Amino acid sequence: MLTFAPFSLLAQGVDVVETRLPQNISFATPFDAQIILSHEPSTTLSLSKETKDENFEITSENVEKSSPGTTSLNLTVMPFALKASTFTVVLDILGAATPSTYTVEIPLNVAPVELFKDKDFHEIRDPKVPVSWLMWLLILALILLVFWAIGRLRKQTEESGPAWQRFGPEADNRPCHEIALSKIDALINSGLWEARQYKIFYISLFDILREYLFRRFQMDVSADTSAELLRTAKKEKALSPVLQDLRDFLTSGDLVKFAKVIPTEEERNRDITYLQTIIKKTAPKPPQPQEKEEHV
């Protein structure tokens, strides 16, 4: 089962879009967690050395920038807390004018380990066994359980690779314009607009545009402002027919992202049409079949 974090206002240019972790977490049993964050395209996120929590141990980590404005943090975590607790992750925000950090707090409920599940199990020892012996037996059982969990984790890693790779997206070999158009459809159906997350919605639209330009024309505009992106686009001959659509799309998006203008649904549909037009008009043309030469 997966749990999803609610959308919140951007803080320091970073926002938690989604968290994925098991619904049931047991003491001293490792679990995989994924945190998906959105941020300004010009910044980069990394796991901070300040992420230290005596109740949780991170056994593996991977930070993957899936798009210029989206980063996926994949972790394997060993919980040593019991009952309700909070798992805290600190991220370094790099590339901004002033480097800073962003803290993600995830509430968890760690269940105790059931050592004996057999309902027919009966205690045959003297009920007056000293408490100290019971404590040492419990500690020994927990130590053995930790070693078993580590061994199982290593075996899984050897068989299927690091745990974070299981979250990784498969290679998409579709044409670049098909990928971009499908991402637009997925964004429309993501619920961001209905949740009034207009800024994140438009940041995602800009990410789709930047990714398409890189795939189609090898234009690395991930860190460019709208003005810089437009200047770069003017140098590409294939983009000449859509420069006005591109200018209108960038201008409208900047008003939402930076001037905090709340767009209407009609304006949203117009901007989506701008982006779809840019992609469709500049999509690579399929190769034409060669005509067979007639032999006299």
Contact (Cβ atoms closer than 8 angstroms) between residue 54 and residue 75: no
Query: Among 53, 75, 50, which residue's Cα sits nearest to residue 62?
Result: 75
Nearest to 251 by CA among 219, 225, 277, 233: 225
Q: What is the dihedral of CA 184, 185, 187, 191, to 10 degrees?
A: 160
DSSP tag of 127: T
- pLDDT digits (tens), the chain, 296 positions: 444 444 333 446 788 888 888 878 887 788 898 898 888 888 888 888 877 777 888 888 888 888 888 999 898 988 877 777 788 888 888 877 777 888 888 888 888 766 555 566 555 555 555 556 778 888 888 898 888 888 887 776 665 544 434 444 557 789 999 999 999 999 999 999 999 999 999 999 999 999 999 999 999 998 999 999 999 999 999 999 999 999 999 999 999 989 889 999 999 999 999 999 999 999 988 777 665 544 44
Structure tokens at 68: 């210029």
Name the residue ranges covered by the structural domains of the chain. Answer: 14-114+138-166, 176-282
Contact yes or no for 242/229 (Cβ under 8 A): no
Is residue 201 within 8 A of residue 269, CB to CB? The reply is: no
Q: How far apart are the first and last CA of the chain?
A: 70
Separation CA 280–CA 274 (nearest Å): 10
Residue 74: half-sphere exposure toward Cβ, Cα within 13 Å: 14
Instruction: Render pLDDT for 13-26 as a digit per residue (tens, 0 to 9).
Output: 788 888 888 878 88
Assign a CATH topology to domain 14-114+138-166. Answer: Immunoglobulin-like (2.60.40)
CB-based contact 175:284 (threshold 8 Å): yes
Which pair of tokens denotes residue 190?
A: 């993501």
Q: What is the pTM of this model?
A: 0.43
Write the pLDDT tens digit of every residue in 216-238: 999 999 899 999 999 999 999 99
